[in-house]
A and B are shown apart, each in its own frame.
Chain A
């Protein structure tokens, strides 16, 4: 397979503009600027490129929703990669920042945007420093600023560092955070395409999506669309982690079998163990089981299987791990990251964690599983943004698919607890910083 994003990714010095340009970097920008905006947009539309951040919305279409006219249009690159299991953007930004910057400049040209931002999560210090340096290089080389390469396109690019909040990966929360507020999601409508950053029309795209743009310009939208499947075109970076021998990022063509990724590329679980469950698209995707390994890895197949491709982060859990622990870790994460703005998410995640804590302490009954399932149901579709759903869907799916194991666990823990044989300080003591 031809790599588009990870081509020679470990080439020494690829993060500098000299090496990047020597390898043909910024040539696609030059070509794009010589084309009318509409032609660039048509290439993107033809490519069928779907957003790589999680929602999988067609990128070209997103641009075409922006209002035309003399308004200030903003472009925000979402580099707040926080979905558990996801680390692909990190590697891209660290090793090939100029590909992202070139993609941003081309996308901004197509969208008519003249102010752009990269919102990078605050924990990515190294990557942000690299981006800062790369932006400076690009400015000096005349790829950013006024009259880029002699065209009438102008663009500023600011690298904005977050400060540790998963919710800021949600596009409207990202905007609030970028405006210097608490990162609370906004009510939609209005959608960012109409009223986003500073109330202006705003295009928000994931790092990987934007980094793909130069490749699309290079090979042509139609050629790109031939990669992958009909509705999931192109290549995708997949972050594989958890119980696999070779965790890491892999560039795959969409539509390959999941088994090929988990076993073929990542080496599968350690010897003698098997896959109990796996998250196909980050921790917010409903889990699949070992029976689902032969599903094709693309947007539609995953959706049909009741889950989602999400950010393309596969977390593999082997058969030695208790599903209750996984459910607890998942719920705990989302409770920690809930912004607190809307009721079902704030209270529902908290309640779910408390019930799971009780389960681990041996004080639950199988009836609590019904309550967890019902609470998850009550969260799904009732929240302001998708964070509540992001907990309710995987936890709900674990309770549904592994109910027997949950019940056995509850019974075992209950007996330990009541017979007094349990460890006097069970895991509960480890739950630190917990919210009462």
Chain B
């Protein structure tokens, strides 16, 4: 801490803080427009923060002057006031002052600063600029160039945070304006952040346009449950409706940014298509709304009838409490062992190894590590917000980034090294990395990656898909990451609360707290098989539609058709549920939920209700408790979400004693609590990595190797949000130009992709970066989803 003087008062602050921030330690506000530390170094463009520093003849910008011991600063003398008034006058020269019809009015920094620091008059009598307004910048964002004060924030964001370089300043001087190349819309996974960055009403949200005034609304903090990123958000609520989602800066989780799905998919909360009342399938085969009592008893009857022949699956935003209650009902009341929350099976031993607290990295570690290895995952699709975090680390802290994936990554341009393996060969490549790290014979690619990580330094973070499995722990150990702060594993689960669900025991081979089970049950793929053959007669689906979310679509169609009872907790009637569910419970939208989630780095976070339930909706834990009681589960009544959490905390040793108060608004990592020592030690013998023969990305003997991925936009929420509907993905097949040439195909052509008698149609998208011999299709689509195909080699022909 140093001492400096501001406006005649001695103030203590940390040294080298920028003056605008240091001034806050003395409760002095220095106005700013362009200053935003999240965008990188200050640019000093708006000149709003001019202050006088004794000993320096010119006024200095407070945003770019680090505070030093003994500095004497004035922000309130005539000279500074005149400069501030001058800047406000300049800024307002061409500003239309149309606050009464501006969405920003009431929460506008320009309004506040003009009022607080402006002269209150203008001598500018020439005509102001008038332009068409608002114009579309994208389907999501409107741009009003009259209002723009050219503070550079949005273009700096596009260039230095999102790094999409789509939004730029064109022309020069007073003619400068914010625009894109040749009238292309600014569409990018994180484009919506510029709305919040804009300090005036120049960039506004089109869905929010004219929906509310700041005095009509209230903010309600919660967590987005649409992907494992679990970004912290504030819902803007008016009259019990969510009208907007804003970031709620949490450096440990999201760094204050949101993806466009998180920002705009709230619209799906208030659409007619949402399921808001319980339904059962009537005699005519149609789902009809019924009372809770009817639905609960039908569900109870179905479950009881099936007994141990029940298979349960959970996904998306299912909370820890819901997952915990369901696994109890399934295990204790129904006597079934068949429940799963993973897309591809990862054994308990493997989970224990990769979840070991001694090997866990945190989200901020991505930013400060010496090196980051992204292994078999595409952050922007799988855990979107990390994409920005990794870019930030590379850009600001020169983190060495290595990427090993089957499909070219959007981070390749930032990587020090990128290697490709064949689709599905992630675990095999990880095993190679282990060999390379141990100095055993390995491939060149693996050796080069390991060499790169080692050269960068000791702190290595491995961001990997869950499906890579046990090799991750071996790799972390081989790289010496155990017990190293700032290094370790960050494992991306297959669903938003994947880590929480497995830790509360929603697994075939592990109970709450990853405790061992006497006899393992069936994993998801086996459940499908058993249901298709009639060994399982009831399917219980929490936030999951197997036809959308799991592989082997045709097998699942058989399974769902054959099962006598299909109970679904859902927001939308997606194909599998619409066609096969016998009982449908309205799931809560995330703004209605009350519960906890576990972030992939172990942070427990609270999802808090911002609005009441739509229609006949009820709390998830309440519905499950009712159902549990009806099927004979004998547990103390759950009356509040707090009680649900308490019961769960009792069952999971390493969550012991955790309460909603302790989690609070920012969450807490369980690894940082004393109870973490109760984490079961992995059986060392079980961590056995046998290097499987790796399949390179080279072309197979015949046909093309199929890889699949799920786009950030492939979700029912996107489909049902009117504003995002334009992003709804359509199937396309990404292929190398050489393969296309060989097959006589061109960009944009319709093709049929087939194998084993299954086929989907797609549009050809040529990509230079796709390794020859491989093609990629999307999963999670309503139609032509890649999970229709059953093999790894496909034929492509013109449709």
Chain A residues with Cβ below 8 Å from B175 are: 340, 435
- Sort chain A's interface into a size bin: 20 to 34
Q: Does B172 have its Cβ within 8 Å of any Cβ on chain A?
A: yes
Would A347 and B46 count as touching, CB distance under 8 A? no
Would A348 and B90 count as touching, CB distance under 8 A? yes
Would B174 and A343 count as touching, CB distance under 8 A? no
CB distance from A131 to the nearest CB of B (A): 26
CB-CB under 8 A for A344 and B47, given A351-B93, A351-B124, A378-B90: yes
Chain A residues with Cβ below 8 Å from B59 are: 381-382
CB distance from A417 to the nearest CB of B (A): 16
Chain A residues with Cβ below 8 Å from B45 are: 341-343, 384
Within 8 A of B (CB), among A32-88: none
Within 8 A of A (CB), among B76-133: 82-83, 86-87, 89-91, 93-94, 123-124, 126-127, 129
Mask: chain B, 14-54; 1 = CB below 8 Å from A; 0 = not: 00000000000000000000000000011111111010000
Q: Does A232 have its Cβ within 8 Å of any Cβ on chain B?
A: no
Mask: chain A, 322-342; 1 = CB below 8 Å from B; 0 = not: 000000000000011111111
Q: Does B58 have its Cβ within 8 Å of any Cβ on chain A?
A: yes
Would A382 and B173 count as touching, CB distance under 8 A? no
CB distance from A129 to the nearest CB of B (A): 27
Chain B residues with Cβ below 8 Å from A165 are: 172
Mask: chain A, 365-383; 1 = CB below 8 Å from B; 0 = not: 0000001001000100111
Q: Does B176 have its Cβ within 8 Å of any Cβ on chain A?
A: yes
CB distance from B466 to the nearest CB of A (A): 39
Q: Once bound together, how far apart are the Cα atoms of A301 and B747, in whole Å?
A: 70
CB-CB under 8 A for A347 and B47, given A182-B169, A338-B172, A435-B175: no
Chain B residues with Cβ below 8 Å from A349 are: 173-174
Mask: chain B, 51-75; 1 = CB below 8 Å from A; 0 = not: 0000000110100100000000000
Q: Does B257 have its Cβ within 8 Å of any Cβ on chain A?
A: no
Within 8 A of A (CB), among B142-176: 149-150, 152, 169, 171-176
Chain B, Cβ-Cβ closest to A367: B123
Chain A residues with Cβ below 8 Å from B42 are: 187
Q: Once bound together, how far apart are the Cα atoms of A343 and B127, in whole Å?
A: 19
CB-CB under 8 A for A344 and B173, given A354-B126, A384-B45, A436-B129: no
Chain A residues with Cβ below 8 Å from B149 are: 343
Would B174 and A378 count as touching, CB distance under 8 A? no
CB distance from B530 to the nearest CB of A (A): 61
Chain B residues with Cβ below 8 Å from A182 are: 169, 172
Mask: chain B, 402-427; 1 = CB below 8 Å from A; 0 = not: 00000000000000000000000000
CB distance from B30 to the nearest CB of A (A): 15
CB distance from A342 to the nearest CB of B (A): 5
Would A187 and B58 count as touching, CB distance under 8 A? no
Q: Which of B61, B90, B127 contacts A187 (CB 8 A)?
A: B61
Chain B, Cβ-Cβ closest to A433: B175
Would A341 and B126 count as touching, CB distance under 8 A? no
CB-CB under 8 A for A382 and B86, given A187-B44, A341-B152, A347-B93: yes
Chain A, Cβ-Cβ closest to B126: A354
Q: Does A350 have its Cβ within 8 Å of any Cβ on chain B?
A: yes
CB-CB under 8 A for A347 and B174, given A182-B169, A340-B169: yes
Q: Once bound together, how far apart are the Cα atoms of A336 and B175, in whole Å?
A: 9
Within 8 A of B (CB), among A350-369: 350-351, 354-355, 358
Q: Does A236 have its Cβ within 8 Å of any Cβ on chain B?
A: no
Q: Once bound together, how far apart are the Cα atoms of A348 and B174, in whole Å?
A: 9
CB distance from B262 to the nearest CB of A (A): 32
Would A346 and B47 count as touching, CB distance under 8 A? no
Would B172 and A339 count as touching, CB distance under 8 A? yes
CB distance from B86 to the nearest CB of A (A): 4
CB distance from B197 to the nearest CB of A (A): 17
CB distance from B477 to the nearest CB of A (A): 37
Chain A residues with Cβ below 8 Å from B94 are: 347
Would B173 and A339 count as touching, CB distance under 8 A? yes
Would A344 and B86 count as touching, CB distance under 8 A? yes
Chain B, Cβ-Cβ closest to A189: B64
Would A342 and B44 count as touching, CB distance under 8 A? yes
Q: Which of A187, A337, A351, A384 contacts B173 (CB 8 A)?
A: A337
Chain B residues with Cβ below 8 Å from A339 are: 172-173
Q: Once bound together, how far apart are the Cα atoms of A346 and B149, in whole Å?
A: 10
Chain A, Cβ-Cβ closest to B149: A343
Q: Once bound together, how far apart are the Cα atoms of A378 and B126, in whole Å?
A: 18
Would A340 and B87 count as touching, CB distance under 8 A? no
Would B87 and A435 count as touching, CB distance under 8 A? no
CB distance from B381 to the nearest CB of A (A): 31
Chain B, Cβ-Cβ closest to A353: B174
Among B64, B91, B173, find the residue whose CB has the most chain A CB atoms closer than 10 A.
B173
Would B174 and A350 count as touching, CB distance under 8 A? yes
Mask: chain B, 162-196; 1 = CB below 8 Å from A; 0 = not: 00000001011111100000000000000000000
Q: Once bound together, how far apart are the Cα atoms of A58 and B47, in whole Å?
A: 29
Chain A, Cβ-Cβ closest to B88: A343
Would A343 and B90 count as touching, CB distance under 8 A? yes
Q: Once bound together, how far apart are the Cα atoms of A339 and B175, in whole Å?
A: 9
Q: Once bound together, how far apart are the Cα atoms of A358 and B149, in whole Å?
A: 24
Chain A residues with Cβ below 8 Å from B87 are: 343-344, 382
Chain B, Cβ-Cβ closest to A388: B47
CB distance from A162 to the nearest CB of B (A): 13
CB-CB under 8 A for A187 and B43, given A351-B93, A435-B173: yes
Chain B residues with Cβ below 8 Å from A354 are: 126
Would B47 and A435 count as touching, CB distance under 8 A? no
Q: Once bound together, how far apart are the Cα atoms of A347 and B91, in whole Å?
A: 7
Within 8 A of B (CB), among A114-146: none
Q: Once bound together, how far apart are the Cα atoms of A346 and B175, in whole Å?
A: 9
Q: Once bound together, how far apart are the Cα atoms of A255 and B64, in whole Å?
A: 40
Q: Once bound together, how far apart are the Cα atoms of A337 and B176, in whole Å?
A: 12
Chain A residues with Cβ below 8 Å from B58 are: 381
Q: Once bound together, how far apart are the Cα atoms of A374 and B58, in whole Å?
A: 18
CB distance from A176 to the nearest CB of B (A): 12
CB distance from B39 to the nearest CB of A (A): 14
Q: Which of B41, B46, B123, B172 contacts A343 (CB 8 A)?
A: B46
Would B93 and A350 count as touching, CB distance under 8 A? yes
Mask: chain A, 187-202; 1 = CB below 8 Å from B; 0 = not: 1000000000000000
Q: Which of B82, B83, B127, B173 contacts A340 (CB 8 A)?
A: B173
Q: Once bound together, how far apart are the Cα atoms of A349 and B172, in whole Å?
A: 13
Q: Once bound together, how far apart are the Cα atoms of A358 and B172, in whole Å?
A: 23
Chain A, Cβ-Cβ closest to B130: A436
CB distance from A59 to the nearest CB of B (A): 24
Chain A, Cβ-Cβ closest to B85: A378
Within 8 A of A (CB), among B256-304: none
Q: Which of A336, A347, A355 contacts B90 (CB 8 A)?
A: A347
Among A165, A343, A347, A378, find the residue whose CB has the most chain B CB atoms closer than 10 A.
A343
Q: Once bound together, how far apart are the Cα atoms of A384 and B83, in whole Å?
A: 14
Chain A residues with Cβ below 8 Å from B43 are: 187, 341
CB-CB under 8 A for A336 and B173, given A341-B152, A347-B91, A354-B126: yes
Q: Once bound together, how far apart are the Cα atoms of A397 and B89, in whole Å?
A: 23
CB distance from B110 to the nearest CB of A (A): 12
CB distance from A200 to the nearest CB of B (A): 15
Chain B, Cβ-Cβ closest to A338: B173
CB distance from A378 to the nearest CB of B (A): 4
Chain B residues with Cβ below 8 Å from A338 are: 172-174
- Listed in ascending order, the chain B residues whose CB lies under 8 Å from chain A are 41-48, 50, 58-59, 61, 64, 82-83, 86-87, 89-91, 93-94, 123-124, 126-127, 129, 149-150, 152, 169, 171-176
**Pairs across A and B, CB under 8 Å, 17 listed:** A335-B173, A340-B169, A341-B43, A341-B45, A343-B45, A343-B47, A343-B150, A346-B173, A346-B176, A347-B90, A347-B91, A348-B90, A349-B174, A350-B93, A351-B93, A382-B59, A384-B44
**Interface contacts beyond A342-B44, A343-B46, A358-B126: sample of 8 additional A-B pairs, CB < 8 Å, sorted by A:** A340-B175, A342-B46, A342-B47, A343-B91, A349-B173, A351-B93, A351-B124, A382-B59
6 smallest CB-CB distances across A and B, nearest first, come from: A378-B86, A338-B173, A347-B90, A340-B176, A350-B174, A187-B44
